[in-house]
Structure 1
Amino acid sequence: MTDTVDARPLLEGARPERDAGFARYIRSGATLETKAFTGTTGEGGGVAIPTQLDDRIDAQLVGLSPIRAIANVVQVGSAGYRKLITSGGTPSGWAGETDPRPVTATPTFHELVPPGGELYANPSASQAMLDDALFDAEAWLAAEIATEFAKAEGAAFVDGSGEGRPRGFLRAPLGAAPDGRRAFGTLQYLPSGAAGDFAGDPAERLIDLVQALRAPYRQGACFVMNAATAARVRKVKTRDGQFLWQPGLAAAQPATLLGYPVVEAEDMPDVAPDSPALAFGNFRLGYLIADRGETAVLRDPYSNKPFVTFYATRRVAGCVADSDAIKLLKFAEK
């Protein structure tokens, strides 16, 4: 047997997945091999990164962007994404074998057009770092893009204006009326009973917030708040001295409040007068994120010498999809 271990080919599952053409583009700007890319617009418009690296960015975004991890994310192929939403449901009825079937009412359709914009990041590295064979340029670029995108996304999905960026769920109209009595797209809020504080027993206010969400939505629901609000809620006890907050038993398991997971989103507002600092809902049904296409990268070695800047862009849209699926606790008297 003459084959050595070093000469044997790697098993398919053990072969390192690298895109040599894209690696050369990052390190030196070479664009000779473009057929391996998911798309290209030429040197002037940048190069769409390989699917493997784009998936790595998506995976890191889910870990870094809390709302993306719990929302409904769809991939779209055009800028004009639209979705039809029905309100009121489709009426139905019962009938015997020979009973007449009268015509039922027609549901109301609403066209949902998520506003969005172009998300961009400008990470830079020195040419000496890129020339270093031991420097994993692809992993560095994916981490930098994901981190910058997550910061911008986190703010937009919570409180984005909807002008050149997604519209955050806190920018939706608010009303105190229950489901079925509010205008389409209006979120229900429950007052805490006092400006900037809980009135009476905080546990009762939290229970009211949970029960305001109808049972079909409570399956898969979670609390969303920032760290300062979480620190305040963690101290809430029942009348017999038991904490409502239960920490996760494992490292990857989230803490629970009243049996529902707690998601920390640092872009949520602090507890203050008239502040909707605490949200509870099924964000998979309540908030829609539309990603258009892959991430494109433009290599710029000229504008910031001796650094090489990578201009990464991605189009993202988002808005409230089902206003009955998200409830807010507003720290106000009424």
Structure 2
Amino acid sequence: MKIRELKAKRTKLGADAKAIMDVASTAGRNLTPEEEATFDQLLDERDQVDATIDRAQRLLDDERDRLDDDPDEPDGPGNRGGDDQMAAWRSFLVGGRSALTAAQARALNAGNDPDGGFLVAPEQFVQQLLAVVDDLTPLRGLATVQRLTTSESLGVPTRDSDLADAEWTSEVGTGTQDDGLQFGKRELRPHPLAKRVLVSRKLLRVAAIGPEAIVRDRLAYRHATAQENAFMTGDGNQKPLGLFTASADGISTARDVDISTDAATFVNVATGNAADDLIDAKYTLKPQYHPRAQWLFHRLVLASVRKLKDGDGNYVWRPGLATDRPDTILDIPYILSEFAPSTFANNDYVGLLGDFSFYWIVDALQFEVQRLVELYAETNQIGFIGRAEVDAMPVLEEPFVRLQSNDVVP
């Protein structure tokens, strides 16, 4: 099925789900068990279509990259200034350092390390790796991403306190002196991140896709999950400071809003109490942030949010009927992360609303790969260790509101 047909199917599934919801809303009642089952089935099927669209798009991108790297194809974006280096990189992945000519080894050498096997991936490979990371970790695509090229850390100036309002005074008056304007700094220092992947020698030799794609995809996935986990719940100790970690250096408990739960789901779905809490959370965030704000939930939490109604009996969740109009909760779109909190115990965090451009990610310049040959010779495999350096944190807490479970049932 073509991507265009998949998108049309997605739109129809969303429209069918909305029709079921509208029937119940018009009748002033909740969904019947049969309607709810059909409703959930339609949305699950639409989620599967979304995943299929993403995979199909990724395959198209990989094929486009392959054609760009093909020496028999006309020069394209992937062939300007990088053919020799990418050819050297491919030779290294298949045959190791011994397979490189002297010129190729110089092109990829990361320094004086003749025995360790470290080589620096060419810039094109690094960009492809980060692109895969972007697809797998939604927060990275919304955050502000910086790359360090020379320094070891990035200092972010902050306004810790502001001036009071100006004073009404006379024509010649200047008002009282105000020393309330204070500035501080938050420092992001990339921390090492590493992952090992094993690939069979035969697969590297005969695979239809290039060996760099095999290594890139597996390393990208494992680096992506480690980063996403830290972006959500990292404690800031030799790793990023996560959104769901209460900290004076990131988002403090002053930005927490209670959401009514009963340790398993949101409370009083029929009366909409928890929906009212979400409305309170929305307007705890200043309206200046609303145009770029998004909700962040785990999929299991979203399953409960989809059933919430406001005081007028309207569902707070609305499906997007067009590909350019996402699903919304109280007219604000949302993203899902498998690493966001998913439990409803008292005081657990259950979600977040914010402008994620105020979550900063800092990547070090180089992505290094070490090739291990003898260690896995008995299993006819070659090991690859990918290393990167990443740090991240909220640089301002005001653009975020964190939702905290409040168990209201005795």
* Same fold, TM-score > 0.5, yes or no: yes
- 2: distance between equivalents of 1:68 and 1:25? 30
Deviation at 1:232, TM superposition (A): 0.5
Residue 152 of structure 1 aligns with which residue? 226
Residue 92 of structure 2 aligns with which residue? 25
CA offsets 1:101-121 (integer angstroms, 9 cap, x no match): 566646211221236521112
Residue 42 of structure 1 aligns with which residue? 113
Q: Which of these residues, 204, 220, 238, is aligned with residue 164 of structure 1?
A: 238
Residue 291 of structure 1 aligns with which residue? 363
Residue 76 of structure 2 aligns with which residue? 13
Q: Which of these residues, 342, 346, 353, is aligned with residue 280 of structure 1?
A: 353
Deviation at 1:239, TM superposition (A): 4.3
Specify whether residues 185 and 222 from structure 1 end up closer, same or farther in structure 2 by C-alpha distance, changes over 3 A only: closer
* Contact kept in structure 2, 1:115 and 1:165, CA below 8 Å: no
SS in 2 for 1:328: strand
Deviation at 1:310, TM superposition (A): 0.7
- 2: distance between equivalents of 1:266 and 1:49? 29
Is 2:190 the partner of 1:127? no
* Contact kept in structure 1, 2:153 and 2:189, CA below 8 Å: no
Residue 152 of structure 2 aligns with which residue? 79
Residue 5 of structure 1 aligns with which residue? none
CA offsets 1:220-253 (integer angstroms, 9 cap, x no match): 1100010000101011123444322122334575
State the one-letter code of the partner of 2:252.
T
Residue 324 of structure 1 aligns with which residue? 398
- 2: distance between equivalents of 1:134 and 1:253? 37
* Contact kept in structure 1, 2:308 and 2:317, CA below 8 Å: yes
- Map 1:261-272 to 2 at 5 A: 261-270=333-342, 271-272=344-345
Residue 205 of structure 1 aligns with which residue? 277
Deviation at 1:219, TM superposition (A): 2.5
- Judge which range, 36-45 or 317-326, deviates more: 36-45
Specify whether residues 253 and 293 from structure 1 end up closer, same or farther in structure 2 by C-alpha distance, changes over 3 A only: farther
State the one-letter code of the partner of 1:298.
Q
Residue 186 of structure 1 aligns with which residue? 252
Residue 191 of structure 2 aligns with which residue? 117
- Judge which range, 246-255 or 140-149, deviates more: 246-255
From the two aligned structures, give the one with the greater helix fraction. 2
* Contact kept in structure 1, 2:350 and 2:404, CA below 8 Å: yes
Unaligned 5+ runs, structure 1: 1-7, 175-182
* Contact kept in structure 2, 1:92 and 1:104, CA below 8 Å: no
* Contact kept in structure 1, 2:243 and 2:250, CA below 8 Å: no
- Judge which range, 52-61 or 73-82, deviates more: 73-82
* Contact kept in structure 2, 1:254 and 1:263, CA below 8 Å: no
SS in 2 for 1:131: helix
Question: Number of residue pairs matched?
Answer: 317
Residue 229 of structure 1 aligns with which residue? 301
Q: CA RMSD in A?
A: 2.9
CA offsets 1:54-86 (integer angstroms, 9 cap, x no match): 101111111101221221111113333322211
Residue 312 of structure 1 aligns with which residue? 386
The percent of aligned pairs where both chains have the same amino acid is: 22
Specify whether residues 195 and 243 from structure 1 end up closer, same or farther in structure 2 by C-alpha distance, changes over 3 A only: closer
* Contact kept in structure 2, 1:87 and 1:108, CA below 8 Å: yes
* Contact kept in structure 2, 1:74 and 1:289, CA below 8 Å: yes
Residue 314 of structure 2 aligns with which residue? 242
SS in 1 for 2:244: helix
- 1: distance between equivalents of 2:405 and 2:349? 6
Deviation at 1:321, TM superposition (A): 0.8
State the one-letter code of the partner of 2:76.
G
CA offsets 1:13-51 (integer angstroms, 9 cap, x no match): 287564111111111013431454495553426111111
CA offsets 1:146-201 (integer angstroms, 9 cap, x no match): 10011101111111122221121222238xxxxxxxx9852411112455344662
Specify whether residues 241 and 194 from structure 1 end up closer, same or farther in structure 2 by C-alpha distance, changes over 3 A only: closer
- 1: distance between equivalents of 2:309 and 2:109? 53
CA offsets 1:81-107 (integer angstroms, 9 cap, x no match): 3222112346785999x8565666462
Specify whether residues 112 and 12 from structure 1 end up closer, same or farther in structure 2 by C-alpha distance, changes over 3 A only: same
State the one-letter code of the partner of 1:315.
E
